[in-house]
Structure 1
């Protein structure tokens, strides 16, 4: 051991308590504040310097250290500790190094969640690592479960994205759809543009948001960065182009000239000229130094949706809604030729690094490769099931990256003319893709309001998948009264039945011809009711696993269903409620009064009152027997998504796109109080069987449990995507939530 290693070993022993320390939390708590802070910040580094590799492994697999470090210094500081362990000089077995990679990967996947709410650590690690049968990981998770001394939602199944795949991290911060992403030439920063009218600048490695640019009056739909990385250019639906100093955030220029929204921007390699495409059917060339418009390229007969420049700066390539790609001389403004072959709008264009080929993505769902020299189509790639929104090419020119409205990113081998793999973690349209300059990562922006960073290179893929689920949004959930099953309805047109105790999928009902919007259990009859965008209500036999009856009568989507005794109540996009006979499917009565879609229905235990919510921002209370409106409850300022009743039928809970829950008296119609805490619209509510707690699921990715006595959140859980529905079992602690990813989360409320 060298003298320096001896010094480092003494430092490690002083701040760690020595290699024999077993109870790391107890040791850390015994340190004075300054020593504890030093230990959390520097111990892993000193362990490496002292060649205490096994001790480093012990601390990095210890939940108490992980929890303490995240709480004190944040997720990124902890992620960097694991990087120390992957130094070639650190001698750990392959198995131990792989264990550390999995834990680090889980923390990185959850970093955007932990930065907002550090109390989510235990739930996030359980949801991502539970499926890995590694002794150190299982011990870590067991300690995580024991560490909680306040109410929390414990995942019962591994339903969050696991580490080891291609997804590295998620960036959140935009409040509306993301339209564009760009990466600086040094590969260190991501720039994003959104329908929230802003640009954001992020650290690509850490996911940290540096700053936000504000100034556009409408959607930011296009971005470009100069090759020197000093300026970013944004194009907006407000008809302007803005040039910003990327280092200071200062707005340098505003370029005006387009008469409709700007849809695309590109910069020449020398940074002297800017090219823009617009809904006004023109392409404009500008001086980036002075902001002067140099000339206009006219030839397209519809919106210009994409522009790019060849690497030699001599030609502009444009794609348009007129289904053509045009090639222009940047020097003269002359149209050189058109590439014709797409059958719908051309949404994106890119040029290979050698300047010989143009790649295009289209609304016709195809990607085409064209010879720029010969002006003809070479290849057509099919595989996306919806329009191809954006295209990127790797720096070596061998691979194409495509983002699509089908929610996927596909990576294609250009030479072999085939798809290599798909990236599928976005839950809405993938609007933008870009490749980092080193060709190792892809950055994507989506209408799900997230930016995701992916590994593109030949990383080792771990054959561990998350729990099986639906292929589209899970929009409705129910738990059977006997607590045997959870039932989910999805936009993939199916209904799945799950074992409530294990989370295993039991079987699937197929029969609806469009999205399943609503599910209700028929108590004690082993039957299920569903409502769909196909305008029908269906009755299913759970025991014999078959469809019993299809009910028609609504003129539009069936959005909600409820059951009371021998009657079914349904709500619809046709603004009406209908009451049906459960045995025959015959319509008994129709209720009208809402001015917009009926979003949800509920019924009192005695079957005397129906509660309905609507996009008209109101909640109505009806007499079931007569159809008379008893109360019209007004208070929400946005559409009301859902309603539920307390078990004693004395109070009803409504939730809205306005981010609030409201509690009302069923007897008087009086608003009693509001629950405020979600940051985006609320999609669903459920109540525990004792009526003491309400559960809410939101587009902000969270499930919250509220105490109705003190009006506070007592526990929450973060999903990987918007949570669209929830249900509670009769035991009051088993909770099920459905996600826009298609997954179903099985959770237990602990500590109550």
Structure 2
């Protein structure tokens, strides 16, 4: 009988506030701050410091190590429309996901880029989305239709930023190739290329009024351009010149520019450098800019006069003086007159991204600016006149650096994790952070009996006692002179409260400790520890473990060996040698029969603890094995490594059962619940992941076949990319097809071809039935049950509608010419349905552009195209008229609603005017009476 195992699946990810490789963005309301958190988007309520929701892609069961890393969020953009809750996220594999923030659901996935998406920008209405990538291409997407419009090619290096010019229907892009390009969205062509920067351009932005465009690079200056509108007069030589150089402003910092952004009102400009500073500039009004220019000209004239002397006064002409008649003209307004440095904001750590809040969170502030730092922190500053004050910080929900050790309590209700400067207590069921306690660089940890106290071994050799309930550090003991690498509790025979614990350090010592109670100054009792004996070794101790029956103690040394001693007498028992590099982790099974060791040589070795023989050596990971643990009362075990993988093994059959993919960096540690129903792993990416055991069984042969298929497919992809013809550099401002072929595209093509073949076979059967019916040879026609009662035309239409909107063009491009002709024969039937006019137009356009030469040489295609020409034009015109009528009706209804909503205010205003008039009449009457009395 084939043995079945229970599957482990990802359930919870916590500990990550913001990723280093992603930007941050606000939702249109300004209440939530969206931050990339590895492969998901976290929506933070910055006032409360809590995560409101999380936008996560569906869990991927793939065994490929790169599948998780390819889902990492690299860019975020939220729709500027206040009525929309659409959010776009770009990922490391080039895909783009559109999310509905109100439902926390992914609406669609757009595939077009072949490399990581670097920038996303919505237009003003939120109907178009532009994306730039490391593949040097720009793709324009229709958000409503969830499909790509066209691809713009011309940049020679990574696209770094994009911005829409909605007033002139243009798109401006910048790249690491040192050029700024202006694209006409109607002509789909590059109409202007701007040079001037001496290094890579990293960011650009335009103010809301679309007057100025600013670019930032590694140059010490910010370059500004004036945007020419179509209404402005221009001769033929400059009619394509959308951007006109305006001037430069020298920056205060020396680091390269990472991001430049205007706030929503356009009054402030923030320049984030690739360091710890953000320069904030004020955009002055036109009147203030003119007065500033006049003062500048006056000061310049005074300086020149002072240098030239009084005798040469008549020969001095300044920038604002007319040389012909000596009259003073209006001074030229420079960029330094318009933009004034307001504030230089400095932070404690390197800044990764910035975002202006579209709403003002507090009164008296000019704007609110949020920053993401590279130590997993979000900070929000209130910018006022002359100062910037920190208002909110999100930092408690994650560590500042990588997680080095994790430990579960005896009842699995709380969990401990250590990092370079803090210990955090978590609820493993919800992922909520309960306590944060400052401590040293913790390399190992464990709970004391009763779970009220915890022990932390640090890199400096100190042993720290933590009171979990109060969240305080009660005692710091100088236990070792070097780093403490391992803390192992000693359990008594009843397997209840522990008798003590053991520490192993790099100072060659293995120390035994026991718990004691001491009275404090207040008279209460407090837990403390005391060293009872020491085992001296001849090399650095890397890891220590004891058997569950407290009979043996195993010590792994830096000399690549493992020494096993009797725990009671500390006499030598066994020496396990065979690893080529030091053993970094080990564990003993619950029955004491097996001991497993994981090493820096990437191998797992399973040993028998009775004779010390090596049962099996397994090449387990692609990099060092960092931790390994047995599931209690079984011979199943989990291992983690620097290759970012978590692996599930059967130590009896020496077989790999599952590979759990999810972490984005090296996995340092793991812990398993008492009953083995869940596993928690900690990683260098600052995340803690929980993997739960499900009731879904799986078989070893099936999993092995899946892994072989995935390896085969990955090899095919590598070979295709290796031997594919190298693309030449794109033509200046060329246009391409927006999508790309994926596995889902080929699957959709197969379904469409199968539907066409089934429909064709059904039509032939029906024709044969009609011919036989005339001869009275058959009875009633029996339709094909696979068509589910649909006609051949409807059956093919159903297959076409199942293809995702963004993948339709690529699917049609993969259709053979014969199948394309079959598909076009059904278009005249589908056009009768008013809901499918747009779909028919898209199919017709793509097939005509793809197979034009073959169609004009195929006689059978001419009558079909003639019919389509007549029907398609009339159907499109009818659909256009209906849309126009509906738009006019909606505008009329909007006007009526505004009139009705204003009616109460108008009535109140009329009544108020009437009361004022009556009061004024009364006052005039009283004045007249007083005058008469005086007379």
Calculate the TM-score normalised by the size of structure 1: 0.54
Q: 1:559 to 1:272 in 2, by over 3 A?
A: farther
Change (3 A) 1:589 1:208: same
Question: CA distance change for structure 1 residues 428 and 354 in 2, over 3 Å: closer, same or farther?
Answer: same
- In the alignment, the residues of structure 2 paired with residue 654 and residue 606 of structure 1 have an alpha-carbon distance, to the nearest angstrom, of 19
Contact 1:478 1:486 in 2 (8 A): yes
Q: By how many angstroms is 1:223 displaced? A: 0.8
Match for residue 657 of structure 2 among 644, 665, 674: 674
1:559 Cα deviation after fit: 8.2
Report the CA distance between 1:235 and its aligned residue: 1.2
How far apart are 1:355 and its partner, in Å? 3.6
Matched-pair contact (CA < 8 Å) for 1:366–1:384: no
Distance 1:492 1:471, change over 3 A: farther
**Residue 521 of structure 1, aligned match among 479, 489, 506:** 489
Contact 1:655/1:683 (CA < 8 Å) preserved in 2? yes
Could you tell me which of 469, 474, 478 is aligned with 2:436?
469
Task: Tell me by how many angstroms 1:242 deviates.
Answer: 1.2
Equivalents in 2 of 1:694, 1:492: separation in Å?
35
Q: Which of 181, 185, 188 is equivalent to 2:80?
A: 185
Mapped partners of 1:230, 1:514: distance in 2: 61
Q: Which residue of 1 aligns with 2:383?
A: 414
CA distance 1:350–1:633, shift in 2 (3 Å) = same
Aligned to 1:654: 639
The within-5 A match list for 1:600-611 is 600-603=585-588, 611=596
Q: How does 1:723-734 map to 2 (within 5 A)?
A: none
Alpha-carbon displacement from aligned partner over 1:6-44 (angstroms, at most 9, x marks no partner): xxxxxxxxxxxxxxxxxxxxxxxxxxxxxxxxxxxxxxx
User: For residues 518-561 of structure 1, what are the alpha-carbon distances to aligned partners after superposition, in whole Å with 9 as ceiling and x for unaligned?
Assistant: 653355663453779xx999979665758989999999xx9865
Shift in alpha-carbon separation, 1:233–1:552, aligned structure 2, 3 A: farther
Checking the alignment, whether the CA contact within 8 Å between 1:239 and 1:262 is kept in structure 2 is yes
Structure-1 residue corresponding to 2:281: 370
CA contact (8 A) 1:324 1:341 kept: no
Contact kept? 2:184, 2:191, Cα under 8 Å? yes
Match of 1:260 among 157, 171, 174: 157
CA displacement at 1:632 relative to structure 2: 1.5
Partner residue, 1:155: none
Distance 2:461 2:108 in 1: 42
Indicate the structure whose relative CO is greater, using CA pairs within 8 Å and at least 6 residues apart.
2
The alpha-carbon distance between structure 1 residues 311 and 498, as it changes in their structure 2 partners (threshold 3 A), is same
SS at match of 1:469: strand
- Find the counterpart in structure 2 of residue 389 from structure 1: 353
Partner of 1:168: 52
8 Å CA contact 1:693–1:707 kept in 2: the answer is no
For the residue of structure 1 that corresponds to 2:434, the secondary structure is coil
Partner Cα distance (1:239, 1:311) in 2: 27
Within 1, Cα distance between the matches of 2:460 and 2:54?
A: 25
Task: Tell me the distance in 1 between the aligned counterparts of 2:46 and 2:208.
Answer: 39
In the other structure, the counterpart of 1:643 is 628
Distance 1:536 1:363 in 2: 44
Deviation per CA, 1:323-350, whole angstroms, max 9, x where unpaired? 6533334544536113322232322111
- 5+ long unaligned stretches in structure 2: 1-31, 34-39, 59-67, 228-241, 284-334, 361-365, 402-431, 492-497, 517-526, 700-935
The Cα shift of 1:199 comes to: 1.3
Instruction: State the shift of 1:593 in Å.
Output: 3.9
Q: Tell me how far apart the structure 1 counterparts of residues 599 and 136 of structure 2 sit (CA, whole Å).
A: 36
- Partner Cα distance (1:345, 1:162) in 2: 28
Separation in 2, partners of 1:608, 1:224 = 60
Partners of 1:251 and 1:283 in 2: CA distance: 23
Deviations, residues 700-746 of structure 1 (Å, cap 9, x unaligned): 9653454999789xxxxxxxxxxxxxxxxxxxxxxxxxxxxxxxxxx
Aligned partner of 1:696 in structure 2 is 679
State the Cα deviation string for residues 58-104 of structure 1 (Å, max 9, x = none).
Answer: xxxxxxxxxxxxxxxxxxxxxxxxxxxxxxxxxxxxxxxxxxxxxxx
Looking at structure 1, the residues matched to 268 and 192 of structure 2 have their Cα atoms a distance apart, in angstroms, of 26
CA-to-aligned-CA distance 1:274-301 (integer Å, 9 cap, x gap): 2223233333332233332233333444
Q: Which has the larger radius of gyration?
A: 2
Q: 1:545 to 1:254 in 2, by over 3 A?
A: farther
Query: Among residues 200, 203, 212, which one is paired with 1:315 in the alignment?
Result: 212
User: When you count strand as a share of all residues, which structure comes out higher?
Assistant: 1
| Contact map agreement 2:448 2:454 (CA 8 A) in 1 | yes
Cα deviation for residue 244 of structure 1 reads 0.7
Three-state SS of the structure 2 residue aligned to 1:417 is strand
Give the secondary structure class of the aligned counterpart of 2:156. coil
What's the secondary structure of 1:170's corresponding residue?
A: strand
For residues 525-564 of structure 1, the aligned pairs below 5 Å read 526-527=500-501, 529=503, 562=545
Q: What CA deviation, in whole Å up to 9, does each residue of 1:152-172 have, x standing for no partner?
A: xxxxxxxx9999655422221
Shift of 1:598: 6.1
Provide the C-alpha distance between the structure 1 equivalents of 2:152 and 2:343, rounded to a whole number of angstroms. Answer: 37
Other-structure match for 1:400: 369
- Alpha-carbon offset, residue 371 of structure 1: 4.1
Does the Cα contact within 8 Å between 2:587 and 2:629 map onto a contact in 1? Answer: yes
Name structure 1 gaps, 5 residues minimum: 1-107, 110-115, 117-159, 431-464, 713-752
> Structure 1 residues 704, 649: CA separation in 2 closer, same or farther (over 3 Å shift)?
closer
Superposed displacement of residue 254, structure 1:
1.5
Aligned residue runs from structure 1 range 258-407, under 5 A: 258-270=155-167, 272-322=169-219, 324-330=221-227, 331-334=242-245, 336-371=247-282, 373-374=335-336, 377-395=341-359, 397-407=366-376
Match of residue 423 from structure 1:
394
CA gap of 1:687–1:423, structure 2 versus 1, over 3 A, is: closer
Q: Which one of 421, 438, 446 corresponds to residue 478 of structure 1?
A: 446
**1:424 Cα shift?**
3.3
Check 1:531–1:232 CA distance in 2 against 1; reply closer, same or farther (3 A cut). farther
Residue 246 of structure 1: CA displacement? 0.7
Preserved contact between residue 341 and residue 377 of structure 1 (Cα < 8 Å): no
Alpha carbons of 1:395 and 1:318: their partners in 2 closer, same or farther (altered >3 Å)? farther
Query: Cα–Cα, structure 1 residues 701 and 237, in superposed 2: closer, same or farther, change >3 Å?
Result: same
* Contact 1:324–1:346, Cα closer than 8 Å, also in 2: no
How far apart, CA to CA, are the structure 1 residues paired with 2:352 and 2:116?
20
Instruction: Name the structure where helix makes up a greater proportion of residues.
Output: 2
Q: How many correspondences in the alignment?
A: 505
Evaluate the alpha carbon distance shift between residue 241 and residue 540 of structure 1 in structure 2; reply closer, same or farther with a 3 A threshold: farther
Q: How far apart, in 2, do the equivalents of 1:286 and 1:490 lie?
A: 57
Query: Is 1:619 the counterpart of 2:597 in the alignment?
Result: no
Alpha-carbon separation, structure 2, partners of 1:364 and 1:607: 54
Q: Deviations over 1:365-413 (max 9, x none)?
A: 1222124553553311223423242232435552112222222222211
Aligned to 1:93: none
1:181 and 1:275 map into 2 onto residues whose CA distance is 18
2-structure distance, mates of 1:277, 1:235? 10
Answer whether contact 2:354 2:369 (CA < 8 A) is retained: no
For 1:257 and 1:429, how far apart are their aligned partners in 2? 41
Given the superposition, is the C-alpha separation of residues 205 and 687 from structure 1 closer, same or farther in structure 2, using an over 3 Å criterion? Answer: closer
1:499 Cα shift?
Answer: 6.4
What RMSD, in angstroms, separates the aligned Cα atoms of the two structures? 5.4
Shift in Å at residue 231 of structure 1? 0.7
